[in-house]
Amino acid sequence: MATPHNQATKGEIAKTVLMPGDPLRAKFLAETYLENVKQFNTVRNMFGYTGTYKGKEVSIMGSGMGMPSIGIYSYELFSQYDVENIIRIGSCGSFKENVHLRDIIIVQGCCTDSNFAHQYELPGTYSAISSYALLERAVNKAKEKDVVYHVGNVLASDIFYHADQGSVEKWASMGCLGVEMESYALFATAAYLNKRALTLLTVSDSLVSNEETSPEEREKTFTAMMEIALEIA
């Protein structure tokens, strides 16, 4: 069985999938941390791998950028491949002075400027939140590893180059810790299909200080976040 975007057959993908946006980060993570690795997807160069970490089966697959992309991949994984948990491991921009480069954000919930949830025809605004069971395990693991982390809301935006230059201050004033582009769709899809999802983000750039990391750093050096995800998978 395959889907339009995934050539894997049933049984080749683990119950828990780690999803970085960048497929090269998926490749790095699989080659660095997993044993007995098998690549299950190359369609559109959205690489997917299954292997074992400390004897436990886990899969890693890229999601691409934006809510439409992760919406497709997460829906197919949940509905066609019997995946139970997806843990997004991504990067984000910080909205806060006290959320620094390389800090980890454990995402509790997502605000959005997207209309992704219109498909559910709800009589109101849907609040997209993570799985508390996964979130609690991630917090405990972050404490154990003694890394700097924050728990809270982020903005999942459809827009990278925003025409409204004041949008950062507006979202920050409502308590958003940072901005990324995927988690709202992931959390909504998981809720709709009665599955579990969590997002872990490493701060790759600050919209306050204008500090930033390089593409290579984002691909290969956000290992604390990766290890937390692997430990709770």
Residues carrying an active site annotation: 205
91 marked as part of a ligand binding site: yes
Is 231 annotated to bind a ligand? Reply is no
Does 44 appear as a known binding residue?
Answer: yes
Residue 121 CB contacts under 8 Å (≥ 6 apart), including other chains:
none
Residue 127 labeled ligand binder: no
Q: Does residue 159 contact residue 112 with C-beta atoms inside 8 Å?
A: no
205 known member of a binding site: yes
**137 is an annotated ligand-binding site residue:** no
Q: Is 69 annotated as a binding residue?
A: no
5 marked ligand binding residue: yes
Find out whether 25 is annotated in a ligand binding site: yes
11 is in an annotated binding site: no
Residues annotated in a binding site for a purine D-ribonucleoside: 5, 180-182, 204-205
Residues annotated in a binding site for phosphate: 21, 25, 44, 88-91
Residues annotated in a binding site: 5, 21, 25, 44, 88-91, 180-182, 204-205
